[in-house]
Amino acid sequence: MTNLIRSARCRYNVDTGVPRKWESSSDRCQQTKVSLRSVYRKPTECRWLRLNTRLNLSKALAVDRHYGSSEFPGHAPADIYLTRSVAPLSPDLAWETECLLLKIFEYGDYSFRSALLGRYSETLTCTFALARHRNALIGAAGCLHSRVDPTVAILGPVGVAREYRRNGIGAQLVHSIVDYLKKQGCMAVYLGVSRTNPAVRLYEAAGFRRYQGIVMRLLLSCKKEFWNQYFDADPNSAIRRIAWGDFPAVQALSTWPGVMYTVDLSRGIFSSRYCEPKRFLSVFPSMMQTFAAAGGFANALVAGERRTIVGFAKVQRMPAQIQCHVAELDLFVHDNFLAKAMELTQTTIRQCEALSIKRVCSACLSCDDVKREILERIGGRHVATLPGQVLLDGEYHDLLTYQMDLAPSKERGEIKNASSSDDDAITGLWGVRS
């Protein structure tokens, strides 16, 4: 520890940034306390000061809040500066940013190129903070939020070139994005990062806290206010088609520890109440890309003044050509809106006819009484049981398969609407979390 303190003292003066010489023993005692505070209590500040000393940057460096290429005033071109850009980026800048991120992460949870070029920008705002040194891109951080309702957002990816790490650049990029989201009216920011990733300390310093599994969350308002405006029970609801702009909202809902056991069984996504999430950013893009490739769609259950997504149901056509008449059905609904789950499922099934789907299959766990009850009430037939397919909390659970044959509407008529008493029975039986 003595060598570490000595190294920190010899490198620069905390107040002036100028390398200092050895002082008398009494001065060393006083300076040791300063060094201890710099090295152990404020590591980010200490590293940022070292970066400032090396590159002649000001201690009080502030991020420019304007979009586009706004360089920090008063600094030479050789210094590091941050910019903020909203997709679509120019092709050259998009290519440069993608190359940097793929060099760091090796792969992307969602398509970096599509986001950078603005292919989702009709409904989804993709904003990137970029760090440059001597005209070379050395760091990038992105965020996603809906153009209609920016209440929740996703942070990521965040990356800094290896030779520039541990200098506070990542912290500056994250703070730039968080400040931007605050101005947009965002109330919660989500990200996915493993517990063993060294970047966890960076996110914790920015205010993020572990939420569920690999998911961390930063609340930009008090928890009660966020709950009241986002997930509070509201009898006024509607059903609409899901688009790319719903990416952050669907991901936020999928991390909720709901009563339903599965969020997306085909992709192995379980409710965080029973199984810690191991995947985050890749869930929604994977679903949307499957729809585009094989056919399918998803409906959202929205409620409240903000039209918050509180549930979704998806129909995904089988990929093989010989099974194109068969589709998989799955759903996940917030506990406060279970009474609307049957209406959401029925509406989704009625819309399958437009895709020439003749048969709908759905699977649920034998222990998932909520989902099983919904599938049986809409006319699903239990056709198969796979014993012991899922292990939860040391217990094996069977996987039940339900099937529904869809005749043309003239023959079968409209699917029978569930009575309000049936809806109340589902809600009352399984309760509402508050």
Q: Sketch out the chain's domains with CATH numbers.
A: 2-41 (no CATH), 80-225 (3.40.630.30), 233-430 (3.40.630.30)
Residue 364 pLDDT grade (very low, low, confident, very high; cuts 50, 70, 90)? very high
The secondary structure of the chain, three-state, reads CHHHHHHHHHHCCCCCCCCCCCCCHHHHHHHHHHHHHHHHHCHHHHHHHHHHHHHCCCCCCCCCCCCECCCCCCCCCCCEEEEEEECCCCHHHHHHHHHHHHHHHCCCCCCHHHHHCCCCCCCEEEEEEEEEECCEEEEEEEEEEECCCCCEEEEEEEEECHHHCCCCHHHHHHHHHHHHHHHHCCCEEEEECCCCCCCHHHHHHCCCEEEECCEEEEECCCHHHHHHHHCCCCCCEEEEECCHHHHHHHHHHHCCCCCCCEEEHHHCEECCCCCCCCCCCCHHHHHHHHHHHHCEEEEEEEECCCCEEEEEEEEEECCCHHHCCEEEEEEEECHHHHHHHHHHHHHHHHHHHHHCCCEEEEEEECCCHHHHHHHHHCCCEEEEEEEEEEEECCEEEEEEEEEEECCCHHHHCCCCCCCHHHHHHHHHHHCCCC
Average pLDDT, rounded, for the chain: 78
Residues 6+ apart with CB under 8 A from 314: 242, 264, 287, 296, 297, 298, 299, 329, 330, 331, 348
CA separation for the pair 165, 149 (Å, rounded): 34
Tens digit of each residue's pLDDT (9 = 90 or more) over 266-317:
888 999 999 999 888 888 988 998 898 889 999 999 998 888 999 999 999 9
pLDDT of residue 420: 46
CA separation for the pair 199, 205 (Å, rounded): 10
Residues 6+ apart with CB under 8 A from 219: 187, 188, 226
CA separation for the pair 38, 47 (Å, rounded): 9
Task: Look at residues 217, 148, 215, 159 and name the one whose alpha carbon lies nearest to residue 185.
Answer: 148
Q: Does pLDDT of 415 surpass 70? A: no
Q: What is the pTM of this model?
A: 0.76
Task: Look at residues 64, 113, 72, 109 and name the one whose alpha carbon lies nearest to residue 92.
Answer: 113
Tens digit of each residue's pLDDT (9 = 90 or more) over 181-239:
999 999 999 999 999 999 999 999 999 999 999 999 999 998 888 887 777 777 789 99
Residue 143 pLDDT grade (very low, low, confident, very high; cuts 50, 70, 90)? very high
Greatest mean pLDDT among 80-84, 112-116, 151-155: 151-155
CA separation for the pair 168, 159 (Å, rounded): 12
Count CB atoms within 10 A of the CB of residue 304.
18
Give just the sign of the alpha carbon dihedral 349, 350, 351, 352: positive
The stretch 399-421 carries a mean pLDDT of 64
Q: Of 262-266, 343-347, 363-367, which gets the smallest average pLDDT? A: 262-266
